[in-house]
Structure 1
């Protein structure tokens, strides 16, 4: 398709395109969209960005960031139609916030380390909240719309700041073992509600360990395991297809043997450095 010179590669042009699509005589699909219908794809687009980042694929990251940006601007266009705010308001708000919260760059505050910056950030945010109704709990600021794993870690991080935390990883591992034993007892009892309760406690304890380690989040680790599972099962599918064996007829023993072969192939591809999962 021939490039349109009136649309330069910037956010302003993207906003103008979306407004044209929403205008009378524009795209029927775009004109039907509401804040609520658009919100359904927003989380998906963010997830696709994360997946591209996990895969380290720069072209895909670029493409998915574009999709995400389009969703952000689309929401602002809808808001402008409703007389609420504009995309410029969105940009102005975040620019003001970035300048305000980086007083060590744009002001006279001092911050030499990342830890200093974090403390300054909390101090500035506390000032921003002074005119707002006082929260009833320190947990009120943890968004309820996060994924369960992300929210678990943020809840834990909040209480850790006031000293409600573990001393070391060994204590959390012991807690995980304790929760696992309680889950076994619940299974032995046959009480479905108790099983659900203990299973949730086990997941919460496991996410606590990820948070305490201060490395990859439990969400990132689970995505990593998802990719590993998918890679290994695709190996099973390829091997069975090559042998002319329908997947449904392979049987668990044959598939388990291929699963182990997939793990071995991973180790060999990594030069034997990768430990078994």
Structure 2
């Protein structure tokens, strides 16, 4: 069986070359280099080392994935044809070496892959920076960097920043999380005598360096302050956790799922209003307020062992994947109509799993403005004849509910009983609105706006009198109210 011995050339010159690697390179076996552009290669050449390299693949290839796959294939072909060989890569064979990973993942009959010694650039880089990786170290590839991969709480090293265009992309990605002027460290040719260069610069200057090459690494230290971490989504989670802590905010600590309910609705309406205004800065702010409600509920749930914010993310992601089979599975949707049909089909399947014989109310969406939901429930019941026959019957029901409310108030009123009777009265009023084919939500908003306009008229009268509100009796305020009604009626 042929053996491919994979060894690392270390991070710099021959002083960093592991003895085992040096001895193997001197063994006489054929040597293949991933690249000859490495400080130790010239030194080994002076000692008589001969080799071939894959540098021609970089010159002719279009994508790194294809280049590294071609390297692995070429090594296997050579090993099968000629027997044992040495494949030497910069640094350590198992650090940032995709061609090595391709070899390890492939099933190669008749060829064994042996990982030999090597020293990673991580060791000397950590020594130069005087950081301890145990505090948390993230190693990322600059050629495929995304802001989702960043973790501003730990030390971050970005390798493969081998040209200015990549440095520019790395800079822009980092600016999604870090302040533009955040101090970073750029290291070049670490551990190569006479060539090593280490500078600290503000992030925005990263792509202005004129000496970036294949030996360049970027170090980003962890952010320390809350003010710096504000663009990190998990910082918001932690802030809410701190607000709910024993030494946090008294108001936040007192909140429950029930007490926050009205704020969820309020913030959702604020989002809708910002959209209507087409004020995108305002929309950004209101979306943050709505997200706060999500985080508060998740934190409260975590404290009571109900669920965590990760469960919320999990439920959302799972649902999105399940309801988009045309994106994440084999279904096909050529337009919006097809996509909606697939979405509805998945929802129906979910409902069938939840209940073998769904209720007539199963199709009513209970999430929404209360008046609108009440109307939808009444319409669903009316489809099977469970409804009032005429307006007179609805009016009688309203009177009945009003009488029950009066009776409750006539005794020692219990808060919950009063709330129940008020709810019944409102539900009956929605029925009357439905009989007249009116939108109860719109009617209430119209009445609210009318009250607001009249109240503002009364307020103007009070201010113009030079007196305060306490100087007016109820009867006097009623006079002002009627005057406001007349004034607005004439205006309209």
TM-score, normalised by the number of residues in structure 2: 0.39
**Matched residues in 1 for 2:481 and 2:464: separation?**
14
Q: 1:183 aligns with which of 395, 399, 407?
A: 395
Q: Within the alignment, does 1:92 sit opposite 2:314 as a pair? A: yes
Structure 1 residues 5 and 101, CA gap change in structure 2 (3 angstroms): same
CA contact 1:52–1:61 (8 Å) conserved in 2: yes
**CA shift for structure 1 position 124:** 1.3
CA distances 1:180-214 after superposition (whole Å, capped 9, x unpaired): 58627986x9x93599989854521414624xxxx
Q: Within the alignment, does 1:47 sit opposite 2:266 as a pair? A: yes
Give secondary structure in 2 for the equivalent of 1:85. Answer: coil
Q: Within the alignment, does 1:125 sit opposite 2:347 as a pair? A: yes
**CA shift for structure 1 position 148:** 4.4
CA contact 1:232–1:263 (8 Å) conserved in 2: no
Q: 1:250 aligns with which of 455, 476, 483?
A: 476
Structure 1 residues 252 and 19, CA gap change in structure 2 (3 angstroms): closer
CA contact 2:458–2:481 (8 Å) conserved in 1: yes
Which residue of 2 is the match for residue 206 of structure 1? 433
Which residue of 2 is the match for residue 29 of structure 1? 250
**CA shift for structure 1 position 90:** 0.7
Q: Within the alignment, does 1:75 sit opposite 2:297 as a pair? A: yes
Bigger CA drift: 10-19 or 138-147? Answer: 138-147
Structure 1 residues 77 and 184, CA gap change in structure 2 (3 angstroms): closer
Q: Within the alignment, does 1:192 sit opposite 2:403 as a pair? A: yes
**CA shift for structure 1 position 142:** 4.5
Structure 1 residues 94 and 254, CA gap change in structure 2 (3 angstroms): same
**Matched residues in 1 for 2:290 and 2:379: separation?**
28
Q: 2:372 aligns with which of 150, 158, 172?
A: 150
Mapping for residues 211-222 of structure 1, pairs under 5 Å: 218-222=440-444
Count matched residues: 242
**Matched residues in 2 for 1:97 and 1:125: separation?**
10
| Higher helix residue share | 1
**Matched residues in 1 for 2:427 and 2:297: separation?**
35
**Matched residues in 2 for 1:186 and 1:43: separation?**
26
Structure 1 residues 249 and 242, CA gap change in structure 2 (3 angstroms): farther
Structure 1 residues 82 and 41, CA gap change in structure 2 (3 angstroms): closer
**Matched residues in 2 for 1:232 and 1:54: separation?**
23
**Matched residues in 1 for 2:229 and 2:375: separation?**
43
Q: What runs of 5+ residues in structure 2 fail to find an aligned partner?
A: 1-224, 407-420
**CA shift for structure 1 position 234:** 1.5
Structure 1 residues 77 and 193, CA gap change in structure 2 (3 angstroms): closer
| Higher strand residue share | 2
**CA shift for structure 1 position 27:** 1.1
CA distances 1:79-122 after superposition (whole Å, capped 9, x unpaired): 334444321221221132234324455553447456x6655433
Q: 1:228 aligns with which of 450, 457, 467?
A: 450
Q: 1:139 aligns with which of 335, 352, 361?
A: 361
Q: What runs of 5+ residues in structure 1 fail to find an aligned partner?
A: 166-174, 211-216, 268-277
**CA shift for structure 1 position 72:** 1.4
Which residue of 2 is the match for residue 4 of structure 1? 226
Structure 1 residues 199 and 31, CA gap change in structure 2 (3 angstroms): closer
**CA shift for structure 1 position 73:** 1.0
**CA shift for structure 1 position 229:** 1.8
TM-score, normalised by the number of residues in structure 1: 0.63
**Matched residues in 2 for 1:53 and 1:263: separation?**
31
